[in-house]
């Protein structure tokens, strides 16, 4: 029984580390990626040596695989809480909403407004830049004023120029991945 608990504990440590290392690698956080990778491999080797020691049972193998799956979910939850990086929301609305635009800007969001033509006439598109950690707050502001807005989000990989680029990335013209605060 203690061997099963050890396998579970190792997997619940290893897999979230693997998830975080992958995210840090994507965000180009070199030092953090290396440190997490080092710890991850140590934990991995320990877990694998237990399971492949030659005297493992089918139950131990199944527990190893099950804990791997649970560890993935935990890793995703941790990443969600850390919310590293930035998002851009593209928000389409049917009318100009100066109150919403003003509220977003007053709350520190970068907002660019475009006017276009949709199937049903004139449309307004707001492009909003935010930190991932402020995603819910931004969506709440939008939904309070425009509950029927069409919203798409994506993660930018580079900032250059513009009002917020010096706030977001003080080394203007460099990749978001090299942002010193991340």
* Among candidate residues 82, 105, 125, the one where a domain is terminated: 82
Same domain, 115 and 146: yes
**Residue 182 maps to a domain:** no
Same domain, 93 and 121: yes
Helix axes 58-82, 30-51, angle to 10 degrees: 160
* Among candidate residues 82, 115, 134, the one where a domain is terminated: 82
The model's pLDDT over 1-30, given as tens digits with 9 standing for 90+, comes to 787 888 888 888 888 899 889 888 887 788
Total domains in the chain come to: 2
Q: What is the pLDDT of residue 169?
A: 52
What average pLDDT does this structure show over 116-142? 90
How far is residue 75's CA from residue 69's CA, in Å, rounded to a whole number? Answer: 10
Residue 160 confidence (pLDDT) above 80: no
Distances (CA, A) of 175 to 27, 33, 65, 158: 10, 17, 38, 5
Same domain, 33 and 63: yes
* 44 close to 38: Cβ distance less than 8 angstroms: no
Rg (CA), the chain: 22
Distances (CA, A) of 6 to 13, 54, 148: 11, 16, 50
Q: What is the pLDDT of residue 164?
A: 58
The model's pLDDT over 147-156, given as tens digits with 9 standing for 90+, comes to 999 999 988 8
Answer whether 0.75 is exceeded by the pTM.
no
Range of the domain at 57: 2-82
């Amino acid at each position: 029984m203690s061997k099963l608990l050890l396998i579970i504990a190792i997997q619940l440590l290893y897999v979230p580390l693997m998830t975080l290392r992958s995210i840090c690698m994507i965000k180009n956080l070199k030092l953090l990626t290396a440190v997490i990778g080092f710890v991850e491999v140590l934990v991995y080797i320990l877990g694998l040596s237990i399971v492949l020691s030659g005297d493992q049972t089918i139950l131990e193998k199944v527990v190893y695989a099950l804990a791997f799956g649970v560890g993935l979910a935990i890793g995703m939850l941790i990443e969600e809480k850390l919310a590293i990086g930035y998002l851009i929301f593209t928000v389409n609305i049917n009318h100009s909403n100066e109150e919403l635009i003003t509220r977003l800007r007053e709350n520190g969001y970068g907002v660019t407004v475009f006017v276009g033509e949709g199937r049903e006439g004139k449309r307004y598109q707001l492009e909003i830049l935010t930190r991932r950690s402020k995603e819910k707050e931004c969506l709440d502001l939008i939904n309070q004023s425009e509950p029927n807005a069409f919203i798409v989000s994506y993660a930018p990989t580079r900032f250059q120029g513009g009002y917020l680029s010096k706030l977001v990335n003080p080394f203007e013209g460099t990749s978001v991945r090299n942002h010193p605060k991340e």
